[in-house]
Amino acid sequence: MNSHVIILLIIMLFMLFSGDVSAQHNLGVHIDNIHSQQGKLYLGLFDTDVHFPHAGKERTALTMELDGIQNTAYIVFSNLPPGKYALAVYQDINGDNKCNTNAIGYPKEPFGFSNNIRPVLSAPSFSKTAVHLDMDTQIRIKLIK
């Protein structure tokens, strides 16, 4: 075989196995300030602002449900493509599978968002809560009660 062909094959193999085209990353989420060991934690991971932050299996990129919680929790979303992601979390203390709110729409159960954005008059935007994922990343969310 010609040495140029061998070099070309080596370069092609290197590009095939080292390319970043299909890179997948992990998003580790530490959740702090869990007030009660009752209920479950529900997490909605969004990759677009459509429906954010109102989670539901048909609305999010991924959802997770965590039972048997303690004072802190750690969850990993694995094999995510590079991009922007926002996370909405709530603790369903009364077990009715929804985040209960008061008359003006403020959650009555513990909740939180990526970047620890604390809502004032309305839910935060996707852009304010979004985390850019271009490598394995760890974030921390402190629940608000």
More confident residue, 119 or 21: 119
Mean pLDDT of 78-91: 94
pLDDT score at 62 = 82
pLDDT score at 10 = 58
Q: Which of 70, 71, 54, 58 is nearest to 113 (CA)?
A: 54
Q: Which CATH class is domain 23-142?
A: mainly beta
pLDDT score at 18 = 52
Can you state the percent helix, strand and coil of the chain, rounding each to 5? 15, 35, 50
Mean pLDDT of 72-93: 93
**Whole-number Å distance between alpha carbons of 80 and 139:** 15
Mean pLDDT of 91-118: 92
